[in-house]
Amino acid sequence: MNVQTNIALSDYTTMRLGGPARFFAEATTPDELAALYQNAKRLDQKVFIIGGGSNLIAHDEGFDGLVIHNKIKGFEIIANDDNATIVKLGAGEEWDSVVQRTVDMNLSGIAAMSAIPGTVGAAPVQNVGAYGQEIADVFISLEAYDTHNDAFVTLDWDSCHFSYRDSIFRSEAKGHYGITSVTIKLSKAAPAPPFYAALQKYLDLHNITDYTPQIIREAVTAIRASKLPDPKVLPNSGSFFKNAVVENWVYNDLKTTYPDMPAFQMDETHYKIPSGWLIEQADFKGQTLHGIKVHSDNALVLINESATGYQDLADARQEVISGVQDKFRITIEQEPLEIG
Ligand code: EPU
């Protein structure tokens, strides 16, 4: 294991911001990951584990500890019957190449999560989701290094406390586990409606009625390409804000003023209002604030056009949050995690 020093985090985060990691190492096996954690503990160093850096914001001062780049690979079929296939995935696998492989096997369950940047290990952390599917729907268990007890553990679905873009790994168990593998269960049944509205619209427009995992993958890839900028070309972290979850009375009140407001009922007492819509209505779409552009095709995405550092992003973020607050009395929250 080669531990490097002073590695720019801007090179490992798709928002392309952030100063150096004091120490930086790749882990290609669970044992390497464990050894890195143990070594850091002995030397009293903080540790942060990263995947593709596509949902991660780094600060200008960098990280005064060890950043572990998770490169643990693996794609292992551990069960297979007439209805389903269970696959164990290395946490360092590229998420989209895994989706491609499962679609090639004609398996359903994650095809609508095509073209999401990032790695397998990051998917359960924020309960990644798109176009009507989320990882929690197919999740069986994950394996992780437990940094408190210095042992490998298996966590089942219940232990992860998945909810909309959230899990224990972002909250009470932050820093507790280094995820090494994720096991998911995919179906052999063809994808079936009802589909997410934007997906159905695309299928209708192209007269598609024969639903296969490959068709869903192609449709979602095309839809995403039309509204989500490629982070390799325009630095960004996907949705920069979570959608707003509000109580029924807030939704009902707003709906009388804004009858065209899109919203989805989440449960009996809550609605989800798209933050992209709130930001657009607050007139930020297409605007550049402190070198950060609110994407013209999707106001939920912030693009780093020419920010000189983290503070520019923080200032732009605050302007957007305050603008939405002033207009709607709703406080939207950042989606990407922060390192440091
Ligand atoms: N909308 C606007 N203006 C905008 C953007 C969106 O009015 O600038 C409206 C749309 O017209 C639509 C509604 O908001 O009525 C919802 O938009 P969309 O279907 O594009 O989805 P979203 O709620 O903005 C979420 C996820 C995306 C995911 C899509 C599709 C979050 C924070 N984002 O976005 O996830 O791809 O649904 O399922 O939940 C990500 O997490 O990085 C991400 C891209």
20-72 per-position pLDDT tens digit: 999 999 999 999 999 999 999 999 999 999 999 999 999 999 999 999 999 99
Question: pLDDT tens digits, residue range 281-307?
Answer: 999 999 999 999 999 999 999 999 999
Q: Say what the pLDDT of residue 14 is.
A: 98
Which position among 114, 143, 165, 224 bears the catalytic label?
165
Ligand 1 atom nearest to CA at 241: 32
- Quick check: helix, strand or coil at residue 306? coil
Which position among 16, 239, 275, 317 bears the catalytic label?
239
Residue 340 clears pLDDT 90, i.e. is over it: no
Is 224 in the active site?
no
Q: Report DSSP letters for 87-135, one per residue.
A: EEEETTSBHHHHHHHHHHTT-BSSGGGTT--SBGGGTTTTT-EETTEEG
Using CA positions, which residue lies closest to atom 23 of ligand 1?
274
Q: Say what the pLDDT of residue 57 is.
A: 98
Q: Give the model's confidence band at 140: pLDDT under 50 very low, under 70 low, under 90 confident, else very high.
A: very high
Q: Report DSSP letters for 181-249, one per residue.
A: EEEEEEESSPP-SPPPHHHHHHHHHTT-----HHHHHHHHHHHHHHHS--TTTS-EEEESBPPEEEEHH
Is 239 in the active site?
yes
CA of 300 to the centre of ligand 1 (A): 7
Ligand 1 atom nearest to CA at 197: 19
Ligand 1 touching residue 112 (CB < 6 A): no
Q: How many residues does the chain have?
A: 340
- C-alpha to C-alpha distance for 58 and 54, rounded to whole angstroms: 11
Ligand 1 touching residue 277 (CB < 6 A): yes
Amino acid identity of 109? G
Using CA positions, which residue lies closest to atom 28 of ligand 1?
130
Ligand 1 touching residue 127 (CB < 6 A): no
With tokens 């909250």, the residue in question is 171
Question: pLDDT tens digits, residue range 164-192?
Answer: 999 999 999 999 999 999 999 999 999 99
- Of the chain, the end-to-end C-alpha distance in Å amounts to 23
Asked if 217 and 114 count as a contact pair (C-beta separation under 8 A), the reply is yes
CA-based max dimension of the chain = 61
Is 76 in the active site?
no
Q: Say what the pLDDT of residue 150 is.
A: 97
Question: pLDDT tens digits, residue range 309-325?
Answer: 999 999 999 999 999 99
Nearest residue to 70 via CA among 5, 101, 25, 116: 25
| Cβ burial, residue 255 (10 Å; 0-12/13-18/19+) | middle
Residue 92 clears pLDDT 90, i.e. is over it: yes
Ligand 1 touching residue 304 (CB < 6 A): no
Question: pLDDT tens digits, residue range 230-279?
Answer: 999 999 999 999 999 999 999 999 999 999 999 999 999 999 999 999 99
